[in-house]
Amino acid sequence: MKGLSRSNLMYMRSFAAIWSDYQFVQAVLGQLPWYHQIALLDKIKTQNEREWYAKAAIEHGWSRNVLVHQIETELHKRQGAALTNFNKTLPAAQADIAQQLIKDPCILNFMTLDADAKEHDLENALVAHVQKFMLELGKGFAFIGRQHHLEAGDQDYYLDLLFYNYHLHSFVVIDLKIDDFKPEYAGKMQFYLSLVDDKLKSETDHPTIGLILCKSKNGVIVEYALRESTKPMGVAEYKVQITQSLPAEIAKVMPSIEEFESELSTEDNVITSIEPPAPGVA
Up-side HSE of residue 199: CA atoms within 13 Å toward CB?
Answer: 14
Do the domain assignments include residue 259? no
User: Is the alpha carbon torsion for 191, 139, 165, 169 positive or negative?
Assistant: negative
Do the domain assignments include residue 250? no
Alpha carbon 256 to its chain centroid, in Å, reads 30
| Same-domain status, 50 and 89 | no
| Same-domain status, 117 and 234 | yes
| Same-domain status, 169 and 140 | yes
Do the domain assignments include residue 46? yes
| Same-domain status, 55 and 106 | no
Alpha carbon 66 to its chain centroid, in Å, reads 12
Do the domain assignments include residue 57? yes
| Same-domain status, 123 and 40 | no
- Domains in the chain, number: 2
| Same-domain status, 87 and 62 | no
pTM above 0.85? no
| Same-domain status, 110 and 20 | no
CA angle 45, 48, 49 (to 5 degrees): 55
Rounded to the nearest 10 degrees, the angle between the axes of helix 34-43 and helix 64-72 is 10
Give the pLDDT of the chain (282 residues) as one tens digit per residue.
777 888 989 999 999 999 988 888 888 889 999 999 999 999 999 999 999 999 999 999 999 999 999 999 999 999 999 999 999 999 999 999 999 999 999 999 899 888 889 999 999 999 999 999 998 998 899 999 999 999 999 999 999 999 999 999 999 999 999 999 999 999 999 999 999 999 999 999 999 999 999 999 999 999 999 999 999 999 999 998 776 554 556 556 656 555 645 555 554 444 443 444 444 544
| Same-domain status, 146 and 99 | yes
CA distances 276 to 170, 268, 271, 273, 280, Å, are 63, 20, 14, 10, 11
Q: Domain of 206: which CATH number? A: 3.40.1350.10
